[in-house]
Amino acid sequence: MKTTETPAPVPAESGAAVTKAGAPGGGEPARHKREGTVLNVFSHGILVIWAIMVVMPLVWAVMTSFKDDASIFGSPWSLPDTLHFDNWSRAWTQAHMSDYFLNTVLVVGGSLVGTLVLGSMAAYVLARFDFPGNRFIYYLFIGGMSFPVMLALVPLFYVVNNMGLLNTIHGLILVYIAYSLPFTVFFLTAFFRTLPSSVAEAAFVDGASHTRTFFQIMLPMAKPGLISVGIFNFLGQWNQYMLPTVLNTDEDKHVLTQGLVQLAVSQGYKGDWSGLFAGLVMAMLPVLAAYIVFQRQVVQGLTAGALK
């Protein structure tokens, strides 16, 4: 006679243990989710605080540029009761900010074009062609980035003076180009290395010269990198104060940074603070507008090398 054995009942505690063991790490996703939420809240809080620290001085400067001197010292944090647009007109005409602005546009515009043209040509050759001394020239440009410009002010003054370029717009343009070339070549060399070689090889097969291949094919492909390094150079050259102070002592050819200092000290103890803030905002707006317009291209240029 065959007998069947009935299995012994499993205790409740054992069943719970089996269920818990059958789903190892069951609480891990919830814990990671909580940690991710806390990290997101913390990081977003830091970004909000940083944004407030950056935006508030800009807003305060714009707001102060529409006040009179009494309101600036009497209620510096309040909104202006009346918009004093005469502050801007006074800074533009009487303080000669229009002349300083024109000089700055000429200097920065010429140096920016020269820096991008010369820097892109040098970076393309260093990135695409192997020749004796390639790495030496590349590291020479990198070494130029680490050389403090303050150490070169005295010899630079005598060099520019001996060339007859002291107190001239084109002399300042040449100095700005030399000052900005190391970073431009360093940035664009890495960018040109990420571009595909097949396009240039196809152009050579079709009979294109090196010059035509560079200007008509490779340079348009490097547009995000050019815009990115152009924005960085524009910011540095527009806000440059030390070089024009040493090399440009002619008041008629002062740039905006020198004009703001001249506006601050022109009246001695009776400073035109409302006009000074108006001039400060005038100098700030082109930089801010350039970054707002090209911010997407700047991000694309910085991340293009990592995405390829």
Domains of the chain and any CATH numbers: 96-307 (1.10.3720.10)
Tens of pLDDT, residue by residue over 219-245, are 989 888 898 899 889 988 998 999 999
pLDDT tens-place string over residues 60-94:
999 999 998 888 888 888 888 888 888 888 888 87
Instruction: Provide the residue type at 67 as one letter.
Output: K
Q: What is the rounded (10 degree) CA torsion for 161, 165, 166, 171?
A: -130
DSSP the chain: ----PPPPPPPHHHHHHHHHHHSTTTTHHHHHHHHHHHHHHHHHHHHHHHHHHHHHHHHHHHHHTTS-HHHHHH-TTSPPSS--THHHHHHHHTT-HHHHHHHHHHHHHHHHHHHHHHHHHHHHHHHH---TTHHHHHHHHHHHHTS-GGGGHHHHHHHHHHTT-TT-HHHHHHHHHHHHHHHHHHHHHHHHHTS-HHHHHHHHHTT--HHHHIIIIIHHHTHHHHHHHHHHHHHHHHT--HHHHHH---GGG--HHHHHHHHHHTTTTS--HHHHHHHHHHHHHHHHHHHHHHHHHHHHHHHHHHH-
Mean of the per-residue pLDDT values for the chain? 83
What is the identity of the amino acid at 220?
A: P
pLDDT at 188: 93
Task: Name the band, by pLDDT with cuts 50, 70 and 90, for residue 161.
Answer: very high
Distance (Å, rounded) from C-alpha 234 to C-alpha 271?
30
Token pair of 31, please? Answer: 């814990």
Is the model's pLDDT at 117 over the cut of 90? yes
**Which pLDDT score is estimated for 308?**
46
Share above pLDDT 90 across residues of the chain, in percent, rounded to a whole number: 32
Residue range 188-201: mean pLDDT, rounded: 88
**CA–CA separation, 93 and 95 (whole Å):** 6
pLDDT at 165 over 50: yes
pLDDT tier, 3 (very low <50, low <70, confident <90, very high otherwise)? very low
Longest dimension (CA), the chain: 122
pLDDT score at 109: 94
- Please tell me the number of Cα atoms within 13 Å of 3 on its side-chain side: 3
Q: Which residues contact 212 (CB under 8 A, 6 or more apart)?
A: 203
Q: How confident is the model at residue 4 (pLDDT cuts 50, 70, 90)?
A: very low
* pLDDT tens-digit readout, 269-283: 666 788 888 888 988
| Arithmetic mean of pLDDT, 180-186 | 94
- pTM listed for this prediction: 0.78
Does position 19 have pLDDT exceeding 80, yes or no? Answer: no
Please report the pLDDT score of residue 71 as a whole number: 87
